[in-house]
Structure 1
Amino acid sequence: MTRSRVLVGGAALAILFGAYNVTVVNDRSRFPLTTTAAEASGERDAGLPRGSELVRLDPADFTTRIDNPYFPIRPGDRRVYRVIDSEGLRQRNLATVTHETKVVANGIEARVVHTVVTERGKRTEDNRAWYSQDGEGNVWYLGEEAREFENGEVTTTKGSWEAGVDGAQPGVIMPAGPTVGLAYRQEYAKGIAEDRAKVFSLRERVEVPFQRFRRRVLLTKETSPLDERGFLDYKFYAKGVGLVLGVEVSGGSDREELVSFRRGRG
């Protein structure tokens, strides 16, 4: 997944989380900046792919009707996020679930989510990501077309990939039955996109401009072996809404918070 980052030193996690009323924000031991051996030994995969593992998926088992409670996307959904970096620079991310679908190279039909990133009113990124849900309720991430802009011109398409092309493999963006310790890959295109995630908690609370979520917020820990700076991101997902907050705590210090959410009619 493409993301904007600002390089800083070790982030003060309690400060980053404290502004958002997250449960136990002052206990740094709950949100480590690295993965310990004990933590790794407790990971479970529940049959979900990890690393570069090959998967064979049956297109007949998939649907573009995505109703996973932690990642519901309905055509017409419109989510606006505000991203603030360590220097106070703000971005606006508008994510729209389109009525479009795409059959990716591995044969699966996917829903297209269009995200436009702007800074000071100027477009800096324009991405189209592809998602589909299997019969068990896992939401799979099947690739994206990523474009970055400067002065209105495309400067790079770095981060683009498609499952089934040049060895790229699909990943899971949200498991059907998340449990603490569940680990899985989110994407795999060697040297391009290798994000991984692990379920960290199912009992968080969080407050963002859109709304206060008082219980049962899912928290995941995301890493990437491609980032030499030691990228580490914590993301919070609320039932019926999806991603509500993302905080980088290593390799950057961006905060992405949900400002508004308008549900589509399908």
Structure 2
Amino acid sequence: MRTRVPAAIAAGLLALTGALTACGSGSAPSPPSGVDGLVVPTPDPEPADFVAAIDNPWLPLAPGTRWEYADEATGQPALVLTVEAGPEVAGIATTTLVRTPAEGAEVRDHYAQDRAGNVWWLGRVGAWQAGVSGAQAGLAMPARPRFGDGFRTALAPGASEVATVRALGEEVTVPLATYDRTLELEVADAAGESRTEVYARGVGLVRTDRLALVGVEEPR
């Protein structure tokens, strides 16, 4: 069932506009959702609402892409992100983003894009998966983010986060390049800790806290 449900908006957060899909009719949305007419997180995403490729310009995830990041203070390699085809989650074909830090364990997250261009986070290997044990898919990246928008990225054990758009169009310089078509998110978790993520249009993540982009390899 695909009943459109007005989203609950938390105080101080604005709503996204436009016709958005990929909502289910299960439980009431957990505020803040930040999206009009869309339940975020969604307890029952509809497979028919999703497309095969993730080409959202803020979070493009083409299999074979590789991003490299270094510590801005020391210049030392710190993180590599790679993209590969993912498994089916809740009946939806996913794309997997693999995070490999210089120190620490590999993390694998599953994403999918709906027909409106919104990217959803559907699970993390070994931690949670949408539709299992009450975990719900959250909005990883809206198709058209606006300053002040807020949205829950997931609702699952250890993955209850809220993202807020703090800036758009600021000039940002990282070791690889200078970008002026940018999006800055503040992501806060249930423990009250937060991080800053900066995305460049057409590139993806270019900075997160102390880590900055030093190289990109796109699939041939």
**TM-score surpassing 0.5?**
yes
Does residue 205 (structure 1) correspond to residue 171 (structure 2)? The answer is yes
CA distance in 2, matches of 1:178, 1:208: 22
Superposed CA RMSD: 2.1
Letter in 2 for 1:217: T
Q: CA deviation at 1:68?
A: 0.5
With over 3 angstroms needed to count, the CA separation of the structure-2 counterparts of 1:65 and 1:181, relative to structure 1, is same
Instruction: Find the residue that maps to 1:103 and give its secondary structure.
Output: strand
Q: Matches of residues 210-225 of structure 1 in structure 2 within 5 Å?
A: 210-213=176-179, 215-225=180-190
Q: Show CA shifts across 1:163-207 (max 9, x none).
A: 1110000111110111112111111103x1101101122121111
Give the aligned partner of residue 111 of structure 2.
131
- Structure-1-length-normalised TM-score: 0.67
**Structure with higher RCO (Cα < 8 A, 6+ apart):** 1
Instruction: Find the residue that maps to 2:169 and give its secondary structure.
Output: strand
Please say which structure displays the higher CA radius of gyration. 1
| More helix as a share of residues | 1
Q: CA deviation at 1:91?
A: 5.6
Give the aligned partner of residue 27 of structure 1.
none
Give the aligned partner of residue 194 of structure 2.
232
Q: Contact 1:68 / 1:137 at 8 angstroms: preserved in 2?
A: yes
- The sequence identity of aligned pairs, in percent, is 35
Q: CA deviation at 1:84?
A: 6.0
Structure 2 runs not aligned, ≥5 long? 1-9, 16-33
Q: Which runs of 4+ in 1 moved over 4 A?
A: 88-91
Give the aligned partner of residue 184 of structure 1.
151
Give the aligned partner of residue 46 of structure 1.
35
Give the aligned partner of residue 154 of structure 1.
none
CA distance in 2, matches of 1:193, 1:91: 26
- Structure-2-length-normalised TM-score: 0.80
Q: Contact 1:201 / 1:220 at 8 angstroms: preserved in 2?
A: yes
Aligned residues between the structures: 192
Q: CA deviation at 1:43?
A: 2.7
Letter in 1 for 2:189: S
With over 3 angstroms needed to count, the CA separation of the structure-2 counterparts of 1:168 and 1:91, relative to structure 1, is farther
CA distance in 2, matches of 1:113, 1:235: 16
